[in-house]
C-alpha cells in the first residue's frame, strides 16, 4: 500500500512539473482587492488544488459528518453488553 501511495505521489509531482513547464505564459490574477502576477502553470495547479480541497470539505460536511452522527446515535441506542450474564449451568 505504501508503494502505491509513493507511485501516486511521484506521478502527481511529474504531472505538476509538466504542467508548470508547458505553461510559462505570464498571467495577472485580479482578485478585486489585489492583483497577483504569476505564470499560467502555477495558476492552473493552484486552481486544481483549491478545487480538490473545497470539494473534499463539501463532501465531508454533507456526507461524512452526518454519517458519523448517525453512527454515534446508533451506538448509544445499543444496550450495553458489558454486564456478565448468568450461565444456566452455574
pLDDT tens digits for range 12-66: 999 999 998 999 999 999 999 999 999 999 999 999 999 999 999 999 999 999 9
Q: Where are the domains of the chain?
A: 11-77
Indicate whether this model's pTM tops 0.75: no
Report the distance separating Cα 59 and Cα 53, nearest Å.
10
Q: Which residue has the higher pLDDT, 83 or 12?
A: 12
Q: Which residue has the higher pLDDT, 39 or 82?
A: 39
Give the confidence band of 83 by pLDDT, cuts at 50, 70, 90.
low
Amino acid at each position: 500500500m505504501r508503494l502505491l501511495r509513493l507511485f501516486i505521489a511521484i506521478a502527481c509531482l511529474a504531472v505538476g512539473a509538466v504542467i508548470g513547464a508547458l505553461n510559462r505564459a505570464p498571467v495577472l490574477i485580479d482578485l478585486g482587492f489585489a492583483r497577483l502576477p504569476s505564470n499560467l502553470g502555477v495558476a492552473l495547479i493552484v486552481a486544481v488544488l483549491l478545487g480538490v480541497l473545497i470539494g473534499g470539505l463539501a463532501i465531508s460536511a454533507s456526507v461524512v459528518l452526518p454519517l458519523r452522527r448517525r453512527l454515534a446515535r446508533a451506538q448509544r441506542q445499543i444496550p450495553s453488553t458489558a454486564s456478565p450474564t448468568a450461565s444456566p449451568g452455574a
